[in-house]
Amino acid sequence: MDYPYANHSIEQQSEFLRLTLALLSKQQIPPNPVNYRLSYDHVSGKSKELKTVLDDYFNDSGKLNQEMLWEIYQRFFIQDNQALQKIRDELRHVISNIQGEVKQSGEELGGFSSELSHFSEILDSSSTPQAMASAVQRMISGTQSALNSQNLFYSHMTELAEETESLRKELMQIKEESLTDALTGIANRRAFDIELQDSMTEAEDQHSALCLLLIDIDHFKKFNDTYGHLIGDKVLRFVAATLKRCVKGQDFAARYGGEEFAVILPNTSQVGAKVIAEQIRKAISAKELHDKAKNENYGKITASIGISEYRFNEQAGDLIKRSDEALYKAKDAGRNRVVFN
């Protein structure tokens, strides 16, 4: 694996260090390894996408916290490298075994082909019955040996095919886990980014409607501070489960970050999006949360929802920004409501 900053001189790295520390201090971000890596890549401009994401947070004062920083770090830097490297090594082993089996089988078939040629020469000549009988016996033995070799080859190839299928399933699991939010079990921000881009491309190609919902749990920080993070996590899982029930077909729900969720609605216009958003809002606020073991009632959870409809040739960031603006209008108007922008 190449060193990611190999093209930076000592002078450049020293300057990036100074800028990184200044950024951490200015934004009042704890200088731990995770935050340092994010800040260093931000000032060095190594990833334009990361810089854009962090700039959006920095420009939205009071919105950035350690949990969000960790989610951004996971999104850009954690790629299940060890698991993927293990599978790469195992696949190399499988390929090597297949090459060995093919080579060995080819050599044995090559030897059998020589015996066939020799037997053909005997048939073309005036050989004695004894010589022909001996040649026939060798042919029978050679045929049996070739048959056994092929059976062994097919057996080994079947085993290797099963091993390859097992590795394919492991890769699919890693892919699924890398696109799933560990806490809520729904899609994470990385999966959302991929799905939104694909949905926008499809909307362009088919000239179809597309809407985006951004959903924010009302007063979540206060709820977290009052009852603790464990109860806060239950609230996040409850909202995620509610989205699963409300989102059908091609619609796509994801945890966008912190207490925010997103829903992508392909082939859905403003009118349809408002209907779905209201269904989600009512479903979230319809149930009171309580802890049976502790006999505690936490009351109702409400959420504010911002909607925007995709405009052709629009960038993903602009669509998200308009949904975010609608979301803040919903909060400013009293929360627990849906606003379209």
Residues 293 and 251 both lie in one domain: yes
Residue 43: both structure tokens together? 């000032």
CATH of the domain at 308: 3.30.70.270
Is 40 a domain residue?
A: yes
Based on the fold, state whether residues 245 and 147 are members of the same structural domain.
Answer: no
Flag whether 15 is in a domain: yes
Residue 184, in any domain of the structure = no
Q: Are strands 303-309 and 338-340 parallel, antiparallel or unpaired?
A: parallel
Q: For residues 213 and 265, is the Cβ–Cβ distance under 8 A?
A: yes
In total, how many domains does the chain have?
3
Same domain, 228 and 123: no
Rama region for 16: left / alpha / beta (φ>0; ψ in -120 to 50; rest): alpha
Q: At residue 210, what is the residue type?
A: L
Q: What is the pLDDT of residues 24-63, one digit of tens each?
A: 888 888 888 788 888 888 888 877 778 888 887 787 655 6
pLDDT band at 225 (very low <50, low <70, confident <90, very high): confident
Answer with the one of 77, 96, 113 that is the final residue of a domain: 77
Residues facing 252 on adjacent strands: 264
Query: Cα angle at 306 between 305 and 307, to 5 degrees?
Result: 120
Report if pTM > 0.75.
no
Bridge partner list, 305 = 215, 338
Are 122 and 254 within one domain? no
Where does residue 96 rank: exposed (0-12), middle (13-18), buried (19+ CB within 10 A)? Answer: exposed
pLDDT of residue 106: 61
Catalytic residue annotation: 259
pLDDT at 205 over 80: yes
**Please, what is the end-to-end C-alpha distance for the chain in angstroms?**
45
CA nearest to 282, candidates 257, 306, 246, 234: 246
Whether residue 328 sits in one domain with residue 205: yes
Nearest-CA neighbor of 212 among 222, 203, 220, 221? Answer: 203
Containing domain of residue 278, as a range?
A: 189-340
Best CA proximity match to 317, nearest among 41, 71, 53: 53
d(CA 129, CA 137): 12
CB atoms under 10 Å from CB of 214, counted, come to 25
Question: Looking at the structure, do residues 171 and 53 belong to the same domain, yes or no?
Answer: no
Residue 169 and residue 102 share a domain: yes
- pLDDT classification of 147: cutoffs 50, 70, 90: low
Confidence tier at 2 by pLDDT (50, 70, 90): very low
pLDDT at 186 over 80: yes
Residues 274 and 301 in one domain: yes
- Is the separation of the CB atoms in 36 and 13 below 8 Å? no
Asked if the structure places residue 4 within a domain, the reply is no
How many beta carbons lie within 10 A of that of residue 62, not counting itself?
A: 6
Q: Are residues 70 and 118 in the same domain?
A: no
pLDDT of 73: 80
Binning the chain into helix, strand and coil, the percentages to the nearest 5 are 65, 10, 20
